[in-house]
Structure 1
Amino acid sequence: MTQTTLLQYEAPWPVYALDWCKTAAPGQQHRPRSSFRLGIGSLRDDYQNRIAIVGLQDERVLVEDDYTDYPDFPSAAASYAWSQKAATTELLATTGDALKVWEYSSDGPQQVSSYVGRPPTSSGHRLTQKIALSGQSKVQNNQTGAPLTNFSWNEKAPSLVVTSSIDTTCTVWNIDTSTAITQLIAHDREVYDVAWLPGSTDIFVSVGADGSLRAFDLRSLEHSTILYETPAPKNMPPPTASPSSSARPPTSPLLRIAFNPADSNYMSTFHMDGTDIQILDMRSPGQPVMEMRAHRGQINALGWGSTTNPLLASAGDDCQLLLWDLSPYTSFPASGRQKRIVVDPVMAYTGPSEINNLAWSPQIAGMTMHSGHSTDPGEWIALAMGKTIKALKV
């Protein structure tokens, strides 16, 4: 990678959660640099976690966006996402002990008492917590919800957010009214990830520790559809005669789920400690239609780009970011076909250490770099590696 396609930022703490801003800064929609912003969240053992906004200073280096002190909150930033809803202020959200919605804005003065972190500098940038949602669980007899593992912001209806929890539930929230629309017991064990079906305000899918991938429809919550279950381990001892003997034996948990934005029939997932990626087709449930096999260490993250012909990115403990082009294999339905094994990514990048997370940017206009060269409009991938954030042009 050359200097025109690789930027780096060193955070003061280990980074896990990250996401790109989906719109330019208010009032700066035509300035490429104002779109080049990342929200990041720390992953600390003491649970005094911090979030920050990182942006471009001069097309050469990523810097904190006017923050020297960071907002802190007593929960792990399990996930992080920026709303695509255009407004004079921008919303971002985190999950941990609760779903928290933050407002990032750069207009006029505001009372100091409402700041999370330090007051803004002369630029007027500020980050304030607007909402904290943590409802009582259906499966626990306490007054607060169990820790949340992840969430998905609905692109079509930005007021809708669905969260997943270790208490086996998923909850759909309306953040405009700060209320839970519904909470359902989604899995037999912890739920690790959740995602809205692109273009839908009713259907979402989830994966969890029970090794299953399930689809839910808010219009018919009496049942869910199991799209995939991890095969039970071979050579398992016979079940003992106990009330739980009919329970499904332990299987490898599924950690993440992501839809192909160009064809929402296709989903990608991977197993805990796994080195392969499974591609599933909603029209042909039960078995993966493809597996991507190239990582030499466990996979930690995956995500799809948003171009017309999107690439799938995966990253893991082998320090590798791999980009896959699945378009040759997804141009016709999977029914009746043998599972394809894909072993050749179209691009690869080796980082200096294990890659814990990744995030695709939206399309960002071209920028003139310090070398005098101009970058073409396109997408970037941000990688989290310990305290280091690297942004790579694709």
Structure 2
Amino acid sequence: MSSVQNTIASQNSNSSSDRNNASSTIGPKRKEIYRYDAPWNIFSMNWSIRSDKRFRLAIGSFIEEYNNKVQVITLDEDKGEFVPLCTFPHLYPTSKIMWIPDPRSCYPDLLATSGDYLRVWCSHENNYVRLECLLNNNKNSDYCAPLTSFDWNEVDPNIIGTSSIDTTCTIWGLEVSHLHYVPIRLDVKICFM
């Protein structure tokens, strides 16, 4: 028997009085696994870490046409299931999706998505999401280099860094929606042998 099975077996062999005492102090039992079936294939997702928005996720679709979606879902603790709060359009699949790293709820409730551009959305109390800004560092209007990823600066959430398929990394200052600095451009091909 594995150590996990031994642990489970020893826990199951407790007397019924021990189980009754434990259940009265712990409270109502909750599910261990929650499931949500999205209406499309999920390509990206991220948990919100805001203390006032427990168990909230943003999920992005993967649809081959230009009609992808982002959906915000939350756990309805009374029903014991995830429920959609809102859905909004996003032309291309979201290569990454991320809530602002703000556990204390000091900043606006922002959600960023990447794909063709970096988009920053604001979530409002009535489950309405509005596009706040679309950030594009592309100097060539004929070609849009897709963003492969991004990350939010946890020390200063006004700063987001993006990476692009055209080998650029761009650091954005959100407080005024402008380009802060473009620190890296890799023009050298790297080969592994």
With structure 2 as the length reference, what TM-score do the two structures score? 0.76
Aligned match for 1:126, one of 101, 118, 128: 128
Aligned twin of 2:84: 64
CA displacement at 1:145 relative to structure 2: 4.3
**Secondary structure, aligned partner of 2:170:** strand
Query: Is 2:47 the partner of 1:20?
Result: yes
**Partner Cα separation in structure 2 for residue 152 and residue 144 of structure 1:** 23
**Partner Cα separation in structure 2 for residue 45 and residue 210 of structure 1:** 31
Aligned twin of 2:114: 95
Letter of the 1:178 counterpart: S
Structure 2, unaligned runs of 5 or more: 1-28
Q: What stretches of structure 1 move > 4 A for 4+ residues in a row?
A: none
Aligned match for 2:96, one of 74, 79, 82: 79
Aligned twin of 1:176: 175
**Partner Cα separation in structure 2 for residue 75 and residue 5 of structure 1:** 34
1:217-236 correspondence to structure 2 within 5 Å: 232-233=192-193
Letter of the 1:12 counterpart: P
Query: Is 2:69 the partner of 1:50?
Result: yes
Letter of the 2:131 counterpart: Q
With structure 1 as the length reference, what TM-score do the two structures score? 0.38
Deviations 1:352-390 (A, max 9, x none): xxxxxxxxxxxxxxxxxxxxxxxxxxxxxxxxxxxxxxx
**Partner Cα separation in structure 1 for residue 45 and residue 179 of structure 2:** 25
Deviations 1:248-279 (A, max 9, x none): xxxxxxxxxxxxxxxxxxxxxxxxxxxxxxxx
Deviations 1:221-260 (A, max 9, x none): xxxxxxxxxxx23xxxxxxxxxxxxxxxxxxxxxxxxxxx
Aligned twin of 2:138: 136
1:182-261 correspondence to structure 2 within 5 Å: 182-188=181-187, 210=190, 232-233=192-193
Specify whether residues 152 and 187 from structure 1 end up closer, same or farther in structure 2 by C-alpha distance, changes over 3 A only: same
Deviations 1:315-342 (A, max 9, x none): xxxxxxxxxxxxxxxxxxxxxxxxxxxx
**Partner Cα separation in structure 2 for residue 175 and residue 15 of structure 1:** 27
**Partner Cα separation in structure 2 for residue 44 and residue 210 of structure 1:** 32
Specify whether residues 187 and 50 from structure 1 end up closer, same or farther in structure 2 by C-alpha distance, changes over 3 A only: same
**Partner Cα separation in structure 1 for residue 153 and residue 107 of structure 2:** 20
> What RMSD over aligned residues (CA atoms) do the two structures have, in Å?
2.3
